[in-house]
C-alpha cells in the first residue's frame, strides 16, 4: 500500500484521453477530423493490437477506424460504459457499440499504454459474445 506522499503527480487524465479516442477517433466518420484527433492523442508511431491483427502508424489506425464505421453503418457508434482508470502509464476504458436505437452488437475494453500524455500502444479486447 502506498502513502499519499508516494502518489505520482504526472499521471495523465486517463478518462479524458481514452474517451477522446473513442469519440474522436473510432466514432469519427470524417477522415480529416479523425486523423487530426489521432495526431493529437497518439504518439508519432503508435501500435494498435486488435483481434484481426497488429496495425502500426497513425494512418493505419485511421484506416481501421474508418473501415469499422463503414462496415457497421451510418448510425453505428461506440459509447463508454464507465470511467476510464489507470496508473503508471496504463489505462483502460470499457465500451459497447451498436446502432443508435438498436441492441448492443459488441462490447469490450480498450487498454492503452500512455507516455508523455499520448497513446503509444492500444489493445482492443472484445468481450465474449452473449448467447
CATH number of the structural domain spanning residue 36: 3.10.450.50
Residue 1 falls inside a structural domain: no
Residue 6 falls inside a structural domain: no
Residue 3 falls inside a structural domain: no
Report the C-alpha dihedral over residues 58, 35, 107, 76, rounded to 10 degrees.
Answer: -150
Residue 30 falls inside a structural domain: yes
Residue 131 falls inside a structural domain: no
Residue 2 falls inside a structural domain: no
Q: Does the pLDDT of residue 1 top 50, yes or no?
A: no
Report the C-alpha dihedral over residues 20, 25, 28, 32, rounded to 10 degrees.
Answer: 120
pLDDT tier for residue 41 given thresholds of 50, 70 and 90: very high
Residue 91 falls inside a structural domain: yes
Domain count, the chain: 1
In this prediction the pTM is 0.89
CA 6 to chain CA mean position, Å: 29
pLDDT tens digits, one per residue of 63-103: 999 999 999 889 999 999 999 999 999 999 999 999 988 89
Residue 5 falls inside a structural domain: no
Q: Does the pLDDT of residue 8 top 60, yes or no?
A: no
Tell which phi-psi region holds residue 57, choosing left (phi > 0), alpha (psi between -120 and 50) or beta: left
Higher pLDDT, 102 or 48: 48
Which structural domain, as residue segments, surrounds residue 73?
11-126
Amino acid at each position: 500500500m502506498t502513502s499519499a506522499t508516494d502518489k505520482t503527480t504526472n499521471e495523465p487524465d486517463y478518462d479524458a484521453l481514452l474517451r477522446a479516442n473513442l469519440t474522436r477517433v473510432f466514432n469519427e466518420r470524417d477522415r480529416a477530423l479523425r486523423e487530426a484527433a489521432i495526431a493529437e492523442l497518439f504518439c508519432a508511431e503508435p501500435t494498435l493490437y486488435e483481434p484481426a491483427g497488429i496495425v502500426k502508424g497513425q494512418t493505419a489506425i485511421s484506416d481501421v477506424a474508418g473501415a469499422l464505421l463503414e462496415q457497421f453503418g451510418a448510425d453505428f457508434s461506440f459509447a463508454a460504459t464507465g470511467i476510464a482508470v489507470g496508473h503508471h502509464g496504463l489505462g483502460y476504458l470499457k465500451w459497447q457499440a451498436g446502432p443508435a436505437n438498436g441492441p448492443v452488437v459488441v462490447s469490450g475494453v480498450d487498454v492503452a499504454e500512455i507516455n508523455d500524455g499520448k497513446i503509444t500502444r492500444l489493445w482492443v479486447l472484445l468481450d465474449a459474445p452473449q448467447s
